Amino acid sequence: MKDGNCPKCGSGEVYSGADLLLKGGPFASNSIPVSLTSLAPMDNYVCVNCGYVERYISEPSKLKEISKKWDKAASDKNDEQSGE
Ligand SMILES: [Zn+2]
């Protein structure tokens, strides 16, 4: 999707909101909660042909934070290193 091609319909009419100034600001609705005190701004990629939307978190620090605070979805993969 980031390469400008829609994975759903194959159209090349993909637009990016990655440079929108409002995404990480106080009025940002384009973000997801990471914890009680932390929001991660999202980059949106929209196909204007079929309407498909993909979203990415652009800040590496937020991705790291999520990996620490959130539960892993598929726990059957890297389960070997479950030392406490
Ligand atoms: Zn599409």
At a CB cut-off of 8 Å and minimum separation 6, what does 33 contact?
39, 40
Instruction: Check residue 27 and give its pLDDT.
Output: 52
- Which has more confidence, 18 or 48? 48
DSSP 62: H
Alpha carbon of 13 to ligand 1 centroid (Å):
7
Alpha carbon of 53 to ligand 1 centroid (Å):
8
What are the structure tokens assigned to 40, written together? 């991660």
pLDDT (tens digit per residue) in 24-81: 555 556 788 899 998 888 888 999 999 999 999 988 999 999 999 999 998 666 555 5
Asked if the model's pLDDT at residue 84 lies above 60, the reply is: no
Instruction: Check residue 35 and give its pLDDT.
Output: 92
Instruction: Check residue 21 and give its pLDDT.
Output: 61
Alpha carbon of 58 to ligand 1 centroid (Å):
22
